[in-house]
A and B are shown apart, each in its own frame.
Chain A
Amino acid sequence: MSVLSVEDLSVSYRIPGGRLRAVRDVSLSVGRGEVLGIMGESGCGKSTLAAAMIGLLPAGASVDGGVIRLNGADMLRLPVDEQRRLRGQSVAMVFQDPMTAFNPVLTIGRQLADFIGAHDAARHNRADIAAMLEKVGIPDPARCLGRYPHELSGGMRQRVAIAAALLMQPDVLIADEPTTALDVTMEAQIIHLLRDLRTSFDGAIVIVTHHLGVIAELCDRVAVMYAGEVVEEAAVDALFHDPRHPYTRALLSCDPAVVQPGIGHLPTIGGRIPDLSALPPGCAFAARCAMTDATCASPVPRHRAAGRSVLCHRSKA
């Protein structure tokens, strides 16, 4: 059974003169022990989707329709207090910039105790916190508890953020660009840590990133987002070795990490993401797609096959 799922979820932002449709009819689910990757370029709605999943949408954003289920509970139909309580118990988030996630004037130990205290005061003590820091690879955890966030490196802060998330014993861990601010060596270590955690922590992990390498190294299943929609969803191996949607194919082929050096110009996608407040009819990718024909201006069908879905007129699942 899925721990967290969204069904036909739509989210929009209020902007002068209209609405910007950031997430459109997205359906996704993630189960225990599974790592779901959400990938796509900036502005495609991946962070808005993650924020909606944990009820952290900014002011001006609203859920226009759809269902969010957490451990079976229909979250959007519950009173706000109840939503908060359920989320607090079962969802934890790791952000891109681990510096801004902490209060600069409190020690790490004090903050971790506070995080836990907000939800379950009696369950943990200092020793548990130190044990968790050790588990995420902090050398000398007892000393770390007495330190302030600025005294730690970016990689260490991200480890502490992951420890803080895990101390809540969540059912779902959502990480938004968890390695983007880090060096490649620390990125490899955080990927390694998250992969280890997947086996030891019996929950679901959702990774939001634009970094294809992180997706390939870490995820079981991947949803590719474009202009607010999931255009393709597949198992990670199928997605990287047999991509079906033209956008997925274009994205994979222009990653400088994939392209062999010495070929001269790198392939690019060309054009830009359409204006989300004035979307074209039919396929949102049509203007940038090499396969576009007259049918692409009509509503796009979603093709489904075993473990896969593709939103396209011209490609099949």
Chain B
Amino acid sequence: MTGVLELRNLSVALPLGGFFSRARLPILLDVDLSVARGESVALVGESGSGKTTLARAVMGLQHVTGGTVAFDGQVVEGAAGLARLRRDAAMMFQDATASLSPRLTVGYLVTEPFRIHGQPLPDPEGTARDLLAKVGLPPAIARRYPHELSGGQARRVGVARALALRPRLVIADEPTAGLDVSVQAEVLNLMSDLRAEMGLAYLIITHNLALVRHVADRVVVLYLGRIVEEGPTAQVFAAPAHPYTASLIAAEPRPDPRQRRTDLAIRGEVPSILRRPSGCEFHTRCPVARDICRHTAPALAPLGAGRQARCHFADQQQNQQGVKHAVEHR
């Protein structure tokens, strides 16, 4: 089955050193990822894991150094391919207010995609009204400017704009960042309604694991630009196969004072991509690392049931217990 989005060996590297230097710094390494029609896939990882670079590479905002991006079964090539992709795949940006031009009204902003892509727009006001209604905003808001909107309203306008050309895929970069919990719940409900109604597929980039649990069918975990684990959300959260995934889940603050964590599952921060660790790149922070992890890099290996993980000990199903044990006995 071909998905709506298929990434094959996608790699991004940035030039390093002087103008004449040919050295390149790898940011994303051989990422294979697919999003099926109507599917919702979450991409998680800490800052610096390459999540946003991946989204930018998909949208053609970042020069790709290797691999391919295919949309609807066709490899995206050249300006025409990119224009088609940008028409049928929309992006929801992290900072909703900043992504809206301050000098245009909401009504103009939500219909701007038609103008950009040269699509017919016989009734701009009616179209704006319909789009705003779809995201639960009153028609009067069409006359307002972005600075007059609350954070939740700006996010909804961002969604309306993304939906304008009836895309098949929406790439959402931290759709709930900076929102209050009740507004987060509203945005998540809106996203699932639109998915049911329009058959949208989502690629959601986030570090909010609660969001992942609620809206993603599948989760992909990135560490230093590589996929370290992938699988159906419920299974990955119930029994993470990679110690990094287990550590991320364990690090999430629990909204229950009776479940306070006594110690940390993970310390330090993502190593610099200028100095990638040897062997398994996670070994420097891994609570269950052994000798082999320091010198031999594990491959991303299938574990069955649509899951895969990049860990020497993933198939032993012990990582979750291992991390728990390491945390309790530190």
Contacts and interface: CB of A to CB of B under 8 A. Distances in A.
A282 interface: no
Interface stretch (A78-86, A205-213, A291-299, A305-313): A205-213
Contacts of B251: 184-185, 187-188
Contacts of A266: 185, 188-189, 214
Given A256-B185, A268-B185, A240 B209 contact: no
Interface stretch (B95-103, B122-130, B256-264, B313-321): B256-264
Interface residues of B, number: 45
A301 B261 CA distance: 37
A237 B257 contact: yes
A140 B150 CA distance: 43
A215 B269 CA distance: 23
A188 B255 contact: no
Interface in B192-228: 192, 207-211, 213-214
A258 B254 CA distance: 8
Interface stretch (A65-73, A116-124, A247-255): A247-255
A184 B189 contact: no
Nearest to A257: B210
A216 interface: yes
A257 B261 contact: no
A197 to B, nearest CB: 15
A139 B178 CA distance: 30
A254 B182 contact: yes
A42 B185 contact: no
Interface in B163-193: 176, 178, 180-186, 188-189, 192
Interface string A263-290: 0111111001000000000000000000
B252 interface: yes
A189 B264 contact: yes
A259 B214 CA distance: 9
B253 A216 contact: yes
A191 B47 contact: no
B248 A185 contact: yes
A186 B213 CA distance: 21
Nearest to A238: B257
B253 A261 contact: no
A113 to B, nearest CB: 26
Interface in A178-212: 180, 183-189, 191-192, 210-212
B267 interface: yes
> How big is the A interface, by class?
35 or more
B266 interface: yes
B234 interface: yes
Given A187-B251, A254-B182, A255-B255, A268 B269 contact: no
Contact of A213 (B178, B182, B253): B253
A195 to B, nearest CB: 8
Contact of B213 (A214, A217, A254, A261): A261
Given A185-B266, A186-B269, A217-B260, A212 B182 contact: no
A217 B254 contact: yes
Nearest to A43: B150
A271 to B, nearest CB: 10
B308 interface: no
B117 to A, nearest CB: 33
A237 B259 CA distance: 11
A2 interface: no
Contacts of B257: 216-217, 219, 236-237, 240-241
B252 A257 contact: yes
Contacts of A211: 253
B248 A184 contact: yes
A240 B256 contact: yes
Contacts of B256: 216, 240
Contacts of B186: 268
10 A-B pairs closest in CB distance = A213-B253, A266-B185, A257-B210, A41-B180, A188-B251, A256-B210, A269-B182, A212-B255, A183-B46, A261-B213
Interface of B: 46-47, 150-151, 176, 178, 180-186, 188-189, 192, 207-211, 213-214, 233-234, 247-248, 251-261, 263-269
